[in-house]
Amino acid sequence: MKQLLDETEIRNRVSLLAEQIAHEYRGKPLTVIGILTGSMILISDLIRRIDLPLRLGLIQASSYRGKTVTPSKLIVNESLVPDIAGRDVLLVDDIFDTGFTLSEIGKKVTARNPNSLKTLVLLWKEGRSRVPFQPDFFGFRIPDSFVVGYGLDYNDEYRHLPYIAVLDEKEM
C-alpha cells in the first residue's frame, strides 16, 4: 500500500472542519448524522472537536459489498436516525466517489423535514461524480484510486488504519 494521507494531515484537517462547522451552526439545533460504516472514525473524531451541543444519529448505507471495488445497488437502513424535524442536519460520509450514495441519502433525510441539510465528506475523489450534487464541506480531494484506512475498507479490512492509503491491486 502507498500512503496517501498521514495521520497528522487527517487530524489537522478534521480539526479545521470542526471549527468551520462550529462557526456555521453556532446557536442552531445541530444533528450530525454519520453514514455507516465508513464514517465511524471520522464522526468520532469530528464531533469531539465541534464546540457545540449536538445530537448524533446514524444511517447505514452500503453499495460496496465483499471484495467488490465498484458500487452496486444501494441498501439503506434508516432505523438509527433520530427525529430531525426542524433541526439543522449535517450528513457525514467518508468519501464522495460517484456521489450517488450521498445524494440518495440526502433525499431520504430531506423527507424527514429538517430545517436545513448540509453534507461533509473526508475525501472527494476527482473525476468520478455522476450526480449534479457536491458536498458542502470536504477534507481532501484525492485521485481516482481505491483507498482504505481511517474507516474506509476493502472486504471489511483496513478500516483501523490511522492513515489513508491506496490499495495495490495485488492486495485485492
Domain hosting 50: range is: 2-171
pLDDT in tens, 70-125: 556 788 888 888 899 999 999 999 999 989 989 999 999 999 999 999 999 999 99
DSSP string of 28-50, one letter each residue = S-EEEEEEETTTHHHHHHHHHH-
Residue 96: CATH number of its domain: 3.40.50.2020
Q: What is the mean pLDDT of the chain?
A: 92
pLDDT in tens, 51-68: 999 999 999 987 655 555
pTM here?
0.90
Structurally, the chain folds into a number of domains equal to 1
Residues assigned a catalytic role: 97
Instruction: Give the residue-averaged pLDDT of 165-170.
Output: 89
